[in-house]
């Protein structure tokens, strides 16, 4: 989900989302490239380039750089298709972040296949 859109004229337009490098380290780790769509505006045409940035305070937390998307606003849903594979085994709880839910889309239907982590999940093994 989009949190903030920050347009720096003449530099870049950043779209900050509630995911990031803890959920998908592959772009930061070895430059994996992804496509993205604004899921709630999928029929709209792209009007400008944006860079999709994650929520972490790291300069490398970039999920997709310079992609042409329709106008994006806070609350929009960004989908990055075909990013599954190794995301879960490579994911971390960096900065005590919770791992996201995982949705499988098959034949046009969405199926929740893993629920979002809770704070209890994160602290379950802590003894103090």
DSSP label at residue 47: -
DSSP label at residue 11: T
Q: Which of 13, 57, 83, 87 is catalytic?
A: 57
List phi, psi (to 5°) of 63: -90, -45
Sequence-separated (6 or more) residues with CB below 8 Å from residue 46: 67, 68, 69, 70
- Catalytic residue check, 57: yes
DSSP H helices in the chain: 26-30, 87-90, 119-123
As annotated, the active-site residues are 57
């Amino acid at each position: 989900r989009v949190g903030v859109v920050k347009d720096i004229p003449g530099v870049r337009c950043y779209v900050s989302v509630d995911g990031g490098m803890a959920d998908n380290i592959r772009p930061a780790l070895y430059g994996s490239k992804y496509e993205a769509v604004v899921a709630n505006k999928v029929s709209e045409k792209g009007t400008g380039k944006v860079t999709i940035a994650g929520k972490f305070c790291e300069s490398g937390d970039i999920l997709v750089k310079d992609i042409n998307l329709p106008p994006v606003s806070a609350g929009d849903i960004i989908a990055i298709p075909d990013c599954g594979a190794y995301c879960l085994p490579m994911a971390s709880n960096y900065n005590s972040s919770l791992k996201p839910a995982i949705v499988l889309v098959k034949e046009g239907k969405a199926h929740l296949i893993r629920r979002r982590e809770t704070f209890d999940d994160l602290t379950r093994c802590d003894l103090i």
